[in-house]
Structure formats: C-alpha cells, structure tokens
Structure 1
Amino acid sequence: MRKQFKRMFTGLLFSLLTSGAALAQGGTPSAFGPGEQARYRVQYLGMTAGSAQVTVGAPMKQWGKEVWPIVSVAKSEAVAGVWPVKDKYVSYWDFGTQRVLGSDMHEDQNNKRRRVRVKLGEDGRSALVVKQKEGEAPRESTHELVEGTLDVAGATFALRNRSLEVGKEFAYPVFTGSRNFLMKAKVEARETLDTKLGKQEVYRLRVYTEFSGKLQSKRDMRAWFTADARRLPVRIEAELVLGSLVAELTEYQQGKVVAPAPAVTARNGT
C-alpha cells in the first residue's frame, strides 16, 4: 500500500499542479510570469499527505533558447506514513513561440533516485526521452507526437491563459513521456468558493484525462480557477482507484506581468 500511495502522490501532484505551459491569447497579458509562486496542501483520504510548491523562474537558456523554467517540488509529510518523497519537475516553456521545449524530472523516493528528460523536436512532432536510474546506464527512446503537443502540466495550465466562460470546452494533445492522449476540459459553472486565501469567485471545470493504473480516476477530475485575470487554480479534486485526493492553494505570490506572443489555439477549442 505504501508503494502504491507513493507513486500516486508524486504522479498526481505533478500532473495537476505544475504549470509547464500556457497558451496565450494575442494582446492579453499572460496569467502568470517569472516570479510567480504558489504552494498547495495535498490531502489523501482527508489526511494531510504532502505539499507542492510551483515557481515560475527567471528566464534562462535551455537547448540554445530562452525559456521560463517552471519548477515544481513535491514533498510527502512524515505524518502520512509513506516513504519519504521529494521530487522536482522542471518544464521548459518558450514564451516567444508559446510551446513546451521539454522537461526534466528528478525523483527521490525512499532514497532511490531516477531522472527522466524529455526533449521535443524542433518541429514539435517528436520527442527524445532519456530515463536513468541511479547507478544504471541511461535508456533512450523516441516518440511521434501530434503537432502542438504539451506535457500534462502544460495542458492543464494552458487553461490559465484561455478565456473561461461557462459552457466552453477545450482539448489539448498530451505526451506523458511514454504515451499520448487528448486531455479535455469543460467549464461547468461560475461560483463562490471558500479558500485558505478567503472567498474567491471561481470557475469550476471538469477535466478528463487518461491516467492508468493507480492514477486512474473513478470519475473526471474537478478543478477551480479564479475568475480574475490570474485564472489561478485554487482547488483540485480527484477520485482515484485508491481513494480521494484534494489539493488546495495555501500561499500565493504573483509574478511579473508579460505581454504574450501571437495567439496559439487549443485543438478543437474555442
């Protein structure tokens, strides 16, 4: 059970909370920028299981291009009774072209370490994946992608720079590092939500994913985004095969406001 929860905790945190990309709408400032920092408390079966901190870093060079490193750190809590987890996920967002260039995952779970690097091709239609366990040789594989593919985090937070209105639907091709699928989201309602940062006007979204195994959902996930210009995720709920998991925003620091590049639209979105 501990091993199952460890994998579920880490996988879900990064799939839901890391902001790997945002599809900006031309002329509208990005909903987030360098310097933004958000911290979430994660509960499993009503018990505090850990936390995740998401930081939009200062512009840097990666693979010869200027990117925003989106750095997410997930930690398990000792009271959760699980193996110690401290993982870091970095997604490289090219703000100039509005696309993800790749990512690095650094896993440290129960003192066992692993690294996974994903680098997208120049045309955005392929990915080189390098996986390496500590003490072992790296393993490489190549994958074909649909043009415009994002990582899971990128597709999730692409919604932050979209105009949210009740009834709108979005779809994004996603690559997890091993498989492709289409992530879908529908804005179901606008409502008021009590949060750790006070009452917030929010949009409630239903999100469809294709996670499998212990991350498989018994029903679609639900997410609440603020109805202001930040469109900030303040709560996420998932009902998994091993139980319910809730992530709540507890701290937030706004980043730099940056004007976007020309618009990039979601696949089948509006």
Structure 2
Amino acid sequence: MRKQCKGMFTGLLFSLLLSGSALAQGEARTAFGPGEQARYRVQYLGVTAGSAQVTVGAPMKQWGKEVWPIVAVAKTESVTGVWPIKDKFVSYWDFGTQRVLGSDMMEDENRRRRRVRVKLSDDGRSAHVVKQKDGETPREFTHELAEGTLDIAGATFALRNRTLEVGKEYAYPVFTGSKSFHMKAKVEAKETLSTELGKQEVYRLRVYTEFSGNLKSKRDMVAWLTADARHLPVRVEAELALGALVAELTGYEQGKAVAPAPAATAKNDT
C-alpha cells in the first residue's frame, strides 16, 4: 500500500488543487496578489493524509525578469499507507505579461530527494527541463510546446482572473515537466457550499485532464471556486486509480490587489 501511494498526496496538490485551465488575459482586475496565502486539508480515502499551503510571494527577479513566485508546499501526516512527504513547487508568474516563465519542484518523498527545473523559452514555444536525483548526474531535456502553454499552478491562477460564467468551458495546453496535454474546465453551476470558513457562494467546475498512472481519473475532477472576485479554490474532489482524494480550504489571508497590464484576449473559450 505504501509503495502504491507514493506521490499520490503531492499529485493531488500539484495536479488537482492547482487545476483548471484558462489564460488570464484581457481582464481589468486581478483576483490575487503578493501576500495571499491559502491553507488546505487533504484527505485520502476519507482520512486526513496531510496539508497543503499555497502562497503568492513578494516580487523577485528570476532569469532577469520580475516575477511573483507562486509557492505550494505539501506534507503528509503520520498515516498508515502514505509515504512521508514534504514537497515544494514554485511557479514563476510574470505579472507583466500574464504568463509563466518556468518552475522549480523540490521533492522529498520517503527521504529520497529529487529536483526538477523547467524554464520556458522567451517565445513560450519550448521548455528546457533539468531533472536530478540526490547523488546522480542531472538529466536535461527539451520539449516543444503549443502556444500559450502554462504549468498547473499558472493555469489555476490564470483561471482565477477570468470572468467565470455558468455553461462556459475553458481549454488550454498545460505542461507538467514531462507531458503536455489539453486541460478543460467547464463551469457547471453556481451554488452555496458549507466550508470551514462559513457558507460560500461558489462556482462548481468539472475539470477534464489526461493524467496517467496513479493520477488517472476514474471520472472528471470537480472543483469549487468562490463566486466573488477572488475565485478562490475552496474544495477539490477526485476519484483516482487508487482511491478518492479531497482537498478543503481551512485558512486564508488575502494578498495585495494589483491591476494587471493590458494583454491580448485569450483564445479557445467556447
């Protein structure tokens, strides 16, 4: 059971909690800003398996450009059948152009460490990937990308900046660091959801992905985002190959409001 569940918790955080796909362009506001912090409880098969924290960091320089680091940290609790995990994922969000420049993934799973760095080209049409396990030589790869490709975190935060409408679907290419695919998110309904932070008016979205292996979905994932200007993810449910996973919001601090620069209108809305 332990071997089967290795990486499942992190997969939920970085591939489910940070799901949804639409390019944040042409909007007159931003739903998030530096200083925002959201905390989540993650359950596996009905039992609390760990926690996650997603933070929008202060502006910094990366690859010669000013970015907002979107930092997600996941760790497991002492639960039978789950590896000890403490992973960190940083997506570098270029606020000026409303695109992702790359990411760093630091994995610490069952006391085995690995790092993955992804750097997108200036035109966004390719990615240079470096993967390294502790004590081993780095391996480097180059992947061709479709125009407008985002990583999982960038796609989610981009979606939050969109004007969500019931019945509308958003679909854009996503690159995980090893695989590219189109992710689709359809807004199914507006409803009221009870959360630890009280009752929230939310949009319910059905999210289609193409994950494989342990993260392969038996059915489409479902995510709930607040219906206010924040579009904050408050709950995500997924029925995966190895069981049901749920992430629920338990704490939140709002960040600084910043007006984005004008950009081209996003494509692929239907």
Same fold (TM over 0.5): yes
Preserved contact between residue 183 and residue 208 of structure 2 (Cα < 8 Å)? yes
Q: Residues of 2 paired with 1:11 and 1:27: CA distance?
A: 30
Residues 154 and 265 of structure 1, relative CA distance in 2, 3 Å threshold: farther
Residues 20 and 268 of structure 1, relative CA distance in 2, 3 Å threshold: closer
Q: Residues of 1 paired with 2:39 and 2:264: CA distance?
A: 28
Post-superposition CA distance 1:155-192 (Å, at most 9, x none): 23321011111101100111111111000010000000
Partner of 2:131: 131
Partner of 1:185: 185
TM-aligned CA deviation for residue 23 of structure 1: 3.9
Helix, strand or coil at the partner of 2:7: helix
Residues 223 and 25 of structure 1, relative CA distance in 2, 3 Å threshold: same
Q: Residues of 1 paired with 2:151 and 2:122: CA distance?
A: 16
Preserved contact between residue 50 and residue 80 of structure 1 (Cα < 8 Å)? no
Q: Tell me which amino acid in the other structure corresponds to 2:181.
A: F
Q: Tell me which amino acid in the other structure corresponds to 1:45.
A: L
TM-aligned CA deviation for residue 28 of structure 1: 2.1
Partner of 1:16: 16
Which residues of structure 2 form unaligned runs of 5+?
A: none
Which residues of structure 1 form unaligned runs of 5+?
A: none
Residues 269 and 27 of structure 1, relative CA distance in 2, 3 Å threshold: closer
Q: Residues of 2 paired with 1:254 and 1:21: CA distance?
A: 22
Preserved contact between residue 191 and residue 204 of structure 1 (Cα < 8 Å)? yes
Partner of 2:243: 243
TM-aligned CA deviation for residue 153 of structure 1: 2.1
Partner of 1:65: 65
Post-superposition CA distance 1:181-223 (Å, at most 9, x none): 0000100000000001000000000000000000000000000
Preserved contact between residue 170 and residue 266 of structure 1 (Cα < 8 Å)? no
Q: Residues of 1 paired with 2:158 and 2:64: CA distance?
A: 24
Preserved contact between residue 21 and residue 183 of structure 2 (Cα < 8 Å)? no
Partner of 2:7: 7
1:122 aligns with 2:122: yes
Q: Residues of 2 paired with 1:103 and 1:112: CA distance?
A: 20
Residues 160 and 225 of structure 1, relative CA distance in 2, 3 Å threshold: same
- The TM-score normalised by the length of structure 2 is 0.96
Partner of 1:253: 253
Partner of 1:38: 38
Q: Residues of 2 paired with 1:20 and 1:194: CA distance?
A: 22
Among the aligned pairs, what percent are the same residue? 82
1:147 aligns with 2:152: no
Q: Residues of 1 paired with 2:163 and 2:75: CA distance?
A: 32
Q: Tell me which amino acid in the other structure corresponds to 1:35.
A: G
Q: Residues of 2 paired with 1:157 and 1:17: CA distance?
A: 11
Q: Residues of 2 paired with 1:264 and 1:212: CA distance?
A: 33
Q: Tell me which amino acid in the other structure corresponds to 2:240.
A: L
The farther-off stretch of 132-141 and 73-82 is 73-82
Residues 213 and 19 of structure 1, relative CA distance in 2, 3 Å threshold: closer
The farther-off stretch of 81-90 and 12-21 is 12-21
Q: 1:135-214 alignment to 2 at 5 Å?
A: 135-214=135-214
Partner of 2:56: 56
Helix, strand or coil at the partner of 1:96: coil
Q: Tell me which amino acid in the other structure corresponds to 1:174.
A: V
TM-aligned CA deviation for residue 99 of structure 1: 0.6
The size of the alignment, in residue pairs, is 270
Q: Tell me which amino acid in the other structure corresponds to 1:106.
A: M
Partner of 1:109: 109
Q: Tell me which amino acid in the other structure corresponds to 1:109.
A: E
TM-aligned CA deviation for residue 22 of structure 1: 7.8
Q: Residues of 2 paired with 1:104 and 1:225: CA distance?
A: 26
Preserved contact between residue 18 and residue 155 of structure 2 (Cα < 8 Å)? no
C-alpha RMSD of the superposition:
1.7
